[in-house]
Amino acid sequence: MKKNSKEYSVLIIAEIGINHEGDVNVAKRMIREAAKAGANAIKLQTINPDENYLENTLSHKIFRNARLTKKETGSLFKIAKKLGVDPFTTAGDFKTIDWVNELNPSAFKISSSLLTCLPIIKYIAKKKRHILMSTGMANMKEIELAIETAKKANAKSISLLHCTSLYPTPTNRLNLATISLLREKFNLQVGYSDHSLGSDVAKLAVAAGARIVEKHFTLDSKRKGFDHAISLEPPAFKKMVNEIRTMEKMLGKKEKIISREEKQKIPSLRRYLVVKNDIKKGEKFTKDNLGFYRIQGNKNSLEPKYFESILGRRAKKKIFSQTPLKNKHFK
């Protein structure tokens, strides 16, 4: 996947999934709207129901009605790339993985439901594309095994997505602290796949350290079925993107930076050594005649860190009260 600009570090994914409901023209419109809203990438779900779900199950019915052909998927990838958006998808069987790979996706997504399907992970890893792994329903041992499987198959690169497989996810099941846990445990880039309502949790995930945010996307959140109810419409998605970009600027870098403007405030805001009472020539400096004052302008005045080394030394000449102390004042 393309690296974000130097200004931004969070990769924002519009999870289209199957919210297009099998209509390629709707999918094309969704990609265009996602690009306008500021998404860095779009993700589909390319699932052959006959190879992934038993007949007469709800999942089989849903995905049977939302299938896109290889040609249609290719046209969507082409549109996304033209708009500067990375296209990728989830696929759960060998044949589909093969033809998706021929379309040159920017990555493959391992969904939470596929995380323990090690043969699929191994097969995808051998395609030498970036892998995003969602970790819903998985314990740490299962996550570790999935990562090991991908690495042993010489995966190009791996990112993890903290995820809770509840739709929508209640607030007491979000556990955003897991983001830092996954990063520390596995030393991989970690993001957040969001199934909560609204965009507040996605923003909090960024504050918690997520470097990827995947959020479901729809043209109409009031439509029945699929993932519409937990998805953001274009205006709300754009608002989320803008707020995350603002948050990135607020969070800054993991280093203590003093800006040029802040440095200019030092002389007027910091404390300096000041003579509290008139001091005669030859008189010793003491705790009683020296203090720490804001002087509204440094002018080479001494900082408080020199206080103890000056105590007991004698004044070269008379010094009046309220005088900022300088090296020339003592022997």
Q: What is the DSSP string of 283-328?
A: PBP-TTTEEEEE-S--TTPPPGGGHHHHTT-BBSS-B-TTPBP-GG
What value does the mean pLDDT take over residues 301-315? 95
What value does the mean pLDDT take over residues 301-316? 94
Q: Are residues 202 and 301 in the same domain?
A: no
Phi-psi domain of 137 (left: phi exceeds 0; alpha: psi -120 through 50; beta: other): left
Q: What is the pLDDT of residue 261?
A: 94
Q: What is the pLDDT of residue 227?
A: 86
Q: What is the pLDDT of residue 300?
A: 81
Residue 283 burial (C-beta neighbours within 10 Å; 0-12, 13-18, 19+): middle
Q: Is the pLDDT of residue 5 over 70?
A: no
CA distance 227 to 15: 10
Helix, strand or coil, per DSSP, at residue 117: coil
Q: Are residues 217 and 308 in the same domain?
A: no
Q: Are residues 242 and 296 in the same domain?
A: no
Q: Look at residues 251, 281, 307 and tell me which one is the last residue of a structural domain.
A: 251
The model's confidence at residue 3, banded by pLDDT at 50, 70 and 90, is very low
3 belongs to a structural domain: no
Q: What is the pLDDT of residue 225?
A: 78
What value does the mean pLDDT take over residues 252-281? 91
318 belongs to a structural domain: yes
* Tokens 């930076």 belong to residue: 257
287 belongs to a structural domain: yes
Q: Are residues 279 and 240 in the same domain?
A: no
Counting residues of the chain whose pLDDT is more than 70, the rounded percentage is 97
| Cβ contact 157:127 at 8 Å | no
Reported as half-sphere exposure (CB side, CA atoms, 13 A), residue 151 has a value of 10
205 belongs to a structural domain: yes
* CATH code of the domain covering residue 20: 3.20.20.70
What value does the mean pLDDT take over residues 49-55? 92
Q: How far is CA 204 from CA 38, 89, 189, 213, 240, in A?
A: 19, 25, 17, 10, 11
Q: Is the pLDDT of residue 177 over 50?
A: yes
Q: Considering its fold, how many domains does the chain have in total?
A: 2
6 belongs to a structural domain: no
Tokens standing for residue 88: 């990728």
Its pTM stands at: 0.86
CA distance 266 to 154: 53
Q: Are residues 53 and 191 in the same domain?
A: yes
Q: Look at residues 251, 282, 299 and tell me which one is the last residue of a structural domain.
A: 251
126 belongs to a structural domain: yes
Q: What is the pLDDT of residue 296?
A: 83
Please name every residue paired with 160 in a beta bridge, in sequence order, or none if there are none: 133, 190
Q: What share of the chain is helix, strand, coil (3-state, %, to 5)?
A: 40, 20, 40
CA distance 129 to 87: 12
What value does the mean pLDDT take over residues 274-298? 92
CA distance 95 to 123: 11
Q: Are residues 61 and 100 in the same domain?
A: yes
In tens, the pLDDT along 206-225 reads 999 999 999 999 999 989 87
Q: What is the pLDDT of residue 79?
A: 98
199 belongs to a structural domain: yes
What value does the mean pLDDT take over residues 49-69? 92
The DSSP 8-state label assigned to residue 258 in this structure reads -
Q: Are residues 269 and 246 in the same domain?
A: no
Q: Are residues 16 and 148 in the same domain?
A: yes
311 belongs to a structural domain: yes
The model's confidence at residue 8, banded by pLDDT at 50, 70 and 90, is low
Q: Are residues 190 and 226 in the same domain?
A: yes
Q: Are residues 104 and 243 in the same domain?
A: yes
Could you list the residue range(s) of the whole structural domain that residue 90 is in?
11-251
What value does the mean pLDDT take over residues 36-48? 97
CA distance 176 to 85: 27
* CATH code of the domain covering residue 310: 3.90.1210.10
Q: Are residues 160 and 297 in the same domain?
A: no
Determine how β-strand 41-45 pairs with β-strand 290-294: unpaired
The DSSP 8-state label assigned to residue 261 in this structure reads H
Q: Look at residues 232, 251, 270 and tell me which one is the last residue of a structural domain.
A: 251
In tens, the pLDDT along 60-83 reads 998 998 999 999 999 999 999 999
Q: Are residues 184 and 215 in the same domain?
A: yes
